[in-house]
Amino acid sequence: MWQAEHVQQRLQAFYPRCDVRILGMTTEGDRRLDRALSEIGGKGLFTKELERALLDGRADLAVHSLKDVPMELGEPFALAAVLTREDPRDAFVSTRYASLEAMPEGARVGTSSLRRAAQIRNRFPALEVLPLRGNVVTRLARLDEGRYDAIVLAAAGLKRLGLAARIRAIVEPTLCVPAAGQGALAIETLAGRDDLARWLAPLADARTAIEVHAERTVSRLLGGSCRVPLAAWCVSTPPGGLRLVARVASEDGRSMAEAVVDSDTADADAALRLGERAARSLLEQGAAQWLGSS
């Protein structure tokens, strides 16, 4: 809802005479909290109901966390705009410990992400990594109840909700590479709505769009979903290049492949080529064995 209200406010600032209304919806991904996303259908559970509203005309646009948008959109749909990215990194939250490095053997870490779990297990095999579902407030409450010694969440979500004070430490990407598109908001519309694309253009951020294009390319080529411990993070590098870091791991974290690729240019074609190079490198390192049938 914060994301929808944020886009609503941005649009009303650009177009003060336009009435921008929010159609509040609860998706299946929000309702089914008893099992891991990887077991009940994946990221599409956060988008299907919103896409139905686009198809039947109840809504003109849908606002998503880009990391929750499937890598392949159905033919009737398009991503009309990607907004400026918030902090893409993960955040360590605990009332007991200052960081993952400070946690003792057997301490319990909660996360909803196979990607985070695999990378944490790889670096800290003595920690107990446990599943954690629910919205941000629910996850924090379960931490405060003592069910976990720490939890790891997206830093962007905490900051957007005014909960940055709960962050004990930022988990640096050298330890835990973010998910493709993490920290970015995307606006989905029906394909062919050129009127909406023009209307949304002032919200779009070209740099973020290029970076996440590289990330989503490697994830798309490797069948990335919440059922795959896959990470991809692209940053712009001076004076005008890109660097993409991608990882695929076994679910238990014991094995991991990493690709780091660079480009001297930073446009959509360069981003596509980076994603292709990273995917090829990971496959050459044997990543296919951890991708399964996802």
Percent pLDDT > 70 in the chain is 91
Other CB atoms within a 10 A radius of the CB of residue 243 amount to 17
- Residue matched to tokens 């974290």: 253
Positive/negative CA dihedral, 139, 26, 112, 282? negative
Residue 42's φ and ψ, nearest 5 degrees, are 85, -160
What long-range pairs does 49-55 form, CB within 8 A, spacing at least 24? 49/25, 50/25, 50/188, 51/77, 51/188, 53/23, 53/25, 54/188, 54/189, 54/190, 55/190
Catalytic residue among 68, 87, 90, 149: 68
Burial of 157 (C-beta count, 10 Å sphere; 0-12/13-18/19+): buried
Q: Among candidates 215, 214, 204, 199, which has minimal Cα distance to 266?
A: 214
Q: Is the pLDDT of residue 228 over 90?
A: no
Mean pLDDT of 160-165: 96
> What CA–CA distance (Å, rounded) separates 232 from 244?
7
Interval 240-260: pLDDT, tens = 999 999 999 999 999 999 999
For position 224, what pLDDT does the model report? Answer: 67
- On average, the pLDDT of the chain sits at 92
Interval 72-95: pLDDT, tens = 888 899 999 999 999 999 999 999
> What CA–CA distance (Å, rounded) separates 182 from 204?
16
Residues 6 or more apart in contact with residue 219 via CB below 8 angstroms: 71, 180, 230, 232
The pair of structure tokens assigned to 3 is 């994301």
Mean pLDDT of 256-276: 98
For position 30, what pLDDT does the model report? Answer: 56
- Domains of the chain by start residue, with CATH: 1-84+184-204 (3.40.190.10), 90-171 (3.40.190.10), 206-285 (3.30.160.40)
Interval 102-160: pLDDT, tens = 999 999 999 989 999 999 999 999 999 999 988 899 999 999 999 999 999 999 999 99
In terms of residues, how long is the chain? 294
Pairing type for strands 108-111 and 150-154 reads parallel
pTM: 0.89
For position 257, what pLDDT does the model report? Answer: 97
For position 75, what pLDDT does the model report? Answer: 85
pLDDT band of residue 291 (cuts 50, 70, 90) is confident
For residue 131, the cross-strand partners are: 111
In the residue annotation, 68 being an active-site residue is answered as: yes
